[in-house]
Structure 1
């Protein structure tokens, strides 16, 4: 080799080393930024030196990160690597492999934009979400650990969530308490002003003293106004923050409910979520100030005792009577409000049913029936409201009477005290002013206790929502499976809806291997849809296990499950927005890919029929599109998701013959060789050309399992033989986790 060749080789090697060093620097910076966001405490130097070790260079990046964390004795961190188009953006920040480099990806204020950084506090750039369609994501997450397992086992309540949100930052409490104490101390100045004016200024007409007192009162009024504004701002900001945190937690809880455990009534579910609104109004209104000021009524009684002596006993006796009145009123209202809430939920559910089924109601001339039901529920709610108002108004009137009695009694007692020489005229007026500061908080406090009863019922509604089972428990240590899914298995799976005594699914052992193209056939109600939902992880088996690869599906992180499984329901739901927003529901599909699939399925014809094109407006539920068009949109979403496991429930039920044939051709084109396809259909012959396996179900059981050439003749001939064939492909035995 001549000298020029050696020089060229050395130069090429130096360039490669430089690029490798640059990539290592950026990868280390990005990983350091993610660790910093997660609070893992890894230094940039330790990350750089760890990734540069020779034994690490040959490992996949995910394994490098795991080894690095283990070498630094960092426990309780889980993670995995998934494609961006299947990634849940709520898991950000994460590392994204984009443009041949690893970047720290963060959410932005724009729903379709992602911020990419080389590391924490470094230069960044913003890209559109669909630009990352082909990128891969490495995400890390702290596992949930609890020192007290019994605490994890307990169901969270709205009250606990509110208290946790309120006292997450305790600084506000000291500020509010200090401001409240100052405001109530300044309120005493008004009574002292009256005392001085009537006892010193009026008898001697000392105008200089009056001017001094007025100037002092102006300062006090200004200070009082400023403190009240500061306190109000603190409380309002806190209430908004608490409302945001609580709403986010409840909505997150709602999104992760077990679908088979949701309430049957949408009205009830809606009311449970809507209960947060009354809680928010309670904490953002002046009620909070009234409740804070209520204990200071005792302080004013003490000042009255200092100035007027026995006059204070009038207010001291009023205080427990008013509180007792509020407690009795609460007890009387509790049952009434509870019944009213239940009936209101029923009416809300009826309203939702009527709106969604208005066509059916009119077509069957059933308007009279629903009108009667609506009137009956409304009449009962009105009756509860009348009784509630009677109790509330009686409480208000009684409290007002007690206040008047207290004022009159204080004046009478004051007169006798003046006669005895124990009290001056100014002192009696000062006691009357301070008495107002006792009476008003008590009167308002009774009303607040009444309002709290309604809020308490709302909190109970939220508690019922929080008590519903989640798809995964917060304390559960979830796993991340393999990148490649070799099989989907079900072993001794039983499923029952609610408290039904009937098993809707009864599977002893069933395995679907990579490359399987399976058709589920059988009569209506035989369990095909239920089996698909159980395999998709939407319904949890009452008994048995479902495995994705070698791991139990319900022990896997939902992020991993959804990155491999796509489920197309029988009843397709579209969301309010545009045709494009429904086609790119996850926001991670590129326009080119979306348009390609839309064209293959014939969805572009929908856009071409409207002047708005892909910006065609879609109403809630997909109103404005036919059932077949909605099905095509949902199919497009499934195809662009690029899953490993396809679970399709009657994907062509609403399509004509030509459209159905086109759908099967498109599916066959986009299926990868190792993908698993499981389709429930009542028209299996049109899909026979892509199937290599047919399952026949009846009464929740698989009664036949074999190749189409074996099963279809028996089905077409209407055979009565429902016993499993000797060549059944139902498999037993699984690899250990």
Structure 2
């Protein structure tokens, strides 16, 4: 958190100045109210009303500055929150494929929502509360010197005692807070997974699982929050004890000094108010500091997303030759899924990769797409060893398509361009190449028609064609099709496969569990993995 406070130090300096002004004004008001009581005791009504007018002026200034302070604090806090989210997503950009998928998408969503809310409330909000409290405490202690030195000494001693008590539970509070954030992650992942399965539960008459799964996750989250509350309560009670002891002691000492005629009676009002400010701040300080420190593990958790060590290379300007595999192997831990695979894929030719389940077909495509780089053997792409190339530049030439391409909630245009800028002529060309022309023409708003959540308003075949259009728009010449038509009806699957095989400029590698005769005859080669 310190990193972001420093990064936005100018904004935070302005907030500090505004907090100083508002808290100093409140301290001055407390002192002046003591003077008003003294004027009443002396029956000096003219001076009494002058003091009231002075205090009214101070309050008006206070309210004006407070308005500016509240708005500036919010702006600064949101700037820092946005910077944190930006840094997290930049880290995601730099993560390897394997590293990113070690966590569920719901976990990352929790980082960017729940964890950021925690950082804002338990981090930045508390930081500003503590900062304001410290300013108020310092100004109040200085003001106490105007009455008697002994009050200051007692205040300092009791402040030290009040600060030391809640530290007994500081580590427990930090642990409980982290447990709550982790349980939040599990809750979101579980609920997201459950809700995404609505159609499946509906088909099997198991919709009661929506409630059951959500309830189980909610109970676990509630237990974590209740545990955090129990620890927080203990810290709060210890702080409150020190708070009460401090205020009563200062009030008692001031009363004694009044009886001894060492301070005027108006001091009772002022020291009482100033002691309340000091010990309310100090009584809550340990709890607030512990809660604020509890956000540190959240920042540490963000660092667990490993940055890719992917090697950089010169961009391959032209794909000069195809892909050569020699004795290629791959293992997930102790499980060997690919072993000594030899194959050659020439540019412009069409291949099917077949094999029994578990024979490594998808693993092979993931190697060719640069997702998996720790293979054994050799994979040459355009004369370069694949794991020595930048995966980013490799994917400039290769389009990977899985069974159900992911479409975003938005328009057809947005799903094809993915936020990048292309001309209408370029879009028209890829619509024709991916056989989307007629589909788009029949949509109410053409390319600007909203296709619903995850593209639900399009058929499976239309979603596949949108994925093809994405690749064609970016000049992809090598297509890796991972069971890309298995979820489609026979007619749509055959149309898309024939379309790909008819394009002389494309190199096509397709995994299929159902190699149709109409397709087999158009292939240059069928590569068999395992014992298929």
Whether TM-score is above 0.5 comes out as: yes
CA positional deviation for 1:368:
5.3
1:243 matched to 2:78: no
* CA distance, structure 1, for counterparts of residue 80 and residue 35 of structure 2: 45
Is 1:445 the counterpart of 2:278? The answer is: no
Task: Answer whether contact 2:191 2:213 (CA < 8 A) is retained.
Answer: no
Match status 1:331 vs 2:171: yes
Gaps of 5+ in 2: none
Tell me the equivalent position of 1:677.
508
Other structure's SS at 2:509 match:
strand
Instruction: Quote the Cα distance in structure 2 between the aligned partners of 1:210 and 1:552.
Output: 89
Structure 1 counterpart of 2:322 = 487
- C-alpha deviation, 1:620, in angstroms: 2.5
The answer to whether residue 336 in structure 2 is matched with residue 503 in structure 1 is yes
Query: Contact between 1:494 and 1:541, CA under 8 Å: does it hold in 2?
Result: no
Summarize deviations over 1:705-736 as a string: whole Å, max 9, x none: xxxxxxxxxx8xxxxxxxxxxxxxxxxxxxxx
Q: Which residue among 520, 524, 530 is the counterpart of 1:688?
A: 520
Structure 1 residue matching 2:220: 3-state secondary structure = helix
Describe the superposition over 1:576-609 as per-residue Cα deviations: whole angstroms up to 9, x where unpaired: 1233433443544544554555456554554566
Residue 183 (structure 2) aligns with: 343
Contact 1:332 1:391 in 2 (8 A): yes
Instruction: Confirm or deny: 8 A CA contact 2:5 2:12 kept in the other structure.
Output: no
- Per-residue CA deviations over 1:257-276 (Å, capped at 9, x if unaligned) read 32222235343333233322
Among residues 410, 428, 431, which one is paired with 2:268 in the alignment? 428
The 8 Å contact of residues 362 and 511 in structure 2, kept in 1 or not, is answered as yes
Quote how far apart the aligned CAs of 1:188 are: 3.1
Kindly report which structure 2 residues correspond to 1:183-222, keeping only aligned pairs within 5 A, or say none: 183-199=22-38, 201-222=39-60
Q: Partners of 2:324 and 2:147 in 1: how far apart?
A: 83
User: Do the aligned residues in 1 keep the contact of 2:162 with 2:283 (CA within 8 Å)?
Assistant: yes
Residue in structure 1 matched with residue 303 of structure 2 by the alignment: 466
- Aligned residue for 2:348? 515
Q: Is the 8 A contact 1:336 1:384 kept in 2?
A: yes
Q: How does 1:36-51 map to 2 (within 5 A)?
A: none
User: What is the distance in 2 between the residues matched to 1:488 and 1:586?
Assistant: 31
In 1, Cα distance between equivalents of 2:327 and 2:282: 64
SS at structure 1 position matched to 2:481: strand
Q: CA contact under 8 A between 1:598 and 1:604: conserved in structure 2?
A: yes
Residues 646 and 678, structure 1, Cα contact 8 Å, conserved in 2: yes
CA-to-partner distance for each residue in 1:258-303, whole Å, 9 max, x for gaps? 2222235343333233322322344664x33311123332553354
User: 2:256 is matched with which residue?
Assistant: 416
Q: Relative contact order, CA 8 A, sep 6+: which one is greater?
A: 2
Q: Which residue of 1 aligns with 2:499?
A: 666
| Aligned partner of residue 202 in structure 1, secondary structure | helix
Change (3 A) 1:640 1:193: closer
Give the direction of change, closer, same or farther, for the CA distance of 1:396–1:168 in structure 2 (3 Å limit): closer
- The answer as to whether partners of 1:472 and 1:554 remain within 8 angstroms in 2 is no
Give the number of equivalent residue pairs. Answer: 528
SS at match of 2:336: coil
- Following the alignment from structure 1 to structure 2, what is the Cα–Cα distance between the partners of residues 522 and 590? 42
Secondary structure (helix, strand or coil) at the match of 2:348 reads coil
Using the TM superposition, give the Cα deviation of residue 218 of structure 1 relative to its aligned residue in structure 2, in angstroms.
Answer: 4.3
- Secondary structure at the counterpart of residue 158 of structure 2: helix
**CA displacement at 1:575 relative to structure 2:** 1.5
Give the conservation status (yes or no) of the 8 Å contact 2:397–2:476. Answer: yes
**Which whole-Å CA distance do the structure 1 matches of 2:225 and 2:498 have between them?**
61
Q: What residue in structure 1 maps to residue 109 of structure 2?
A: 270
Contact 1:485 1:644 in 2 (8 A): no
Counterpart in 2 of 1:290?
Answer: 129
Corresponding residue for 1:698?
530
Which position in structure 2 is the counterpart of 1:257? 95
The 1:418–1:621 alpha-carbon spacing in structure 2 relative to 1, beyond 3 Å, is same
What does 1:60-139 correspond to in 2, within 5 Å?
A: none
In 1, Cα distance between equivalents of 2:85 and 2:263 = 56
Measure, in 2, the Cα distance between the counterparts of 1:238 and 1:552: 48
- Report SS of the residue matched to 2:102: coil
Cα offset, 1:435, TM superposition: 0.9
Return the alpha-carbon distance in structure 1 between the equivalents of residues 238 and 54 of structure 2. Answer: 38
CA shift digits 1:417-440 (9 cap, x unpaired)? 223333221233221121122023
Offset of residue 511 of structure 1: 4.7
Rounded to whole Å, the distance in 2 between the matches of 1:413 and 1:629 is 82
- For residues 447 and 650 of structure 1, the distance between their equivalents in structure 2, rounded to whole angstroms, comes to 56
Q: What secondary structure, in the 3-state scheme, does the structure 1 residue paired with 2:266 have?
A: helix
Structure 1 residues 545 and 695, CA, compared in 2 at 3 Å: closer, same or farther? same
Distance 1:175 1:269 in 2: 33
TM-score, length-normalised on structure 1? 0.64
TM-superposed CA distance for 1:544, in Å, is 5.7
Unaligned runs of 5+ in 1: 1-158, 700-714, 716-737
Distance 1:544 1:220 in 2: 79
Q: Say if 1:390 and 1:170 are closer, same or farther in 2 by CA, change over 3 A.
A: closer
Say which is worse superposed, 537-546 or 289-298, in terms of deviation.
537-546
Cα distance, 1:298–1:649 mapped onto 2, change above 3 Å: same
Greater percentage in helix: 2
Offset of residue 637 of structure 1: 2.7
In structure 2, the residue corresponding to 1:421 is in which secondary structure?
coil
User: In the alignment, which residue of structure 2 is the partner of 1:525?
Assistant: 358
| Corresponding position of 1:171 | 10
SS of 1:470's equivalent in the other structure is: coil
1:294-693 alignment runs, 5 A limit? 294-296=133-135, 297-367=137-207, 371-449=211-289, 451-452=291-292, 455-456=295-296, 459-460=298-299, 463-472=300-309, 478-490=313-325, 493-497=328-332, 500-507=333-340, 510-543=343-376, 546-553=379-386, 556-557=389-390, 559-585=392-418, 587-595=420-428, 597-598=430-431, 602-604=435-437, 606-607=439-440, 611-672=444-505, 675-684=506-515, 685-693=517-525
Partners of 2:442 and 2:13 in 1: how far apart? 63
Contact 2:170-2:290 at 8 Å conserved across structures: yes
State the distance in 2 between where 1:197 and 1:177 align: 30
Question: 2 CA distance for matches of 1:669 and 1:225?
Answer: 74
What do you get for the CA RMSD once the two structures are aligned?
A: 3.4
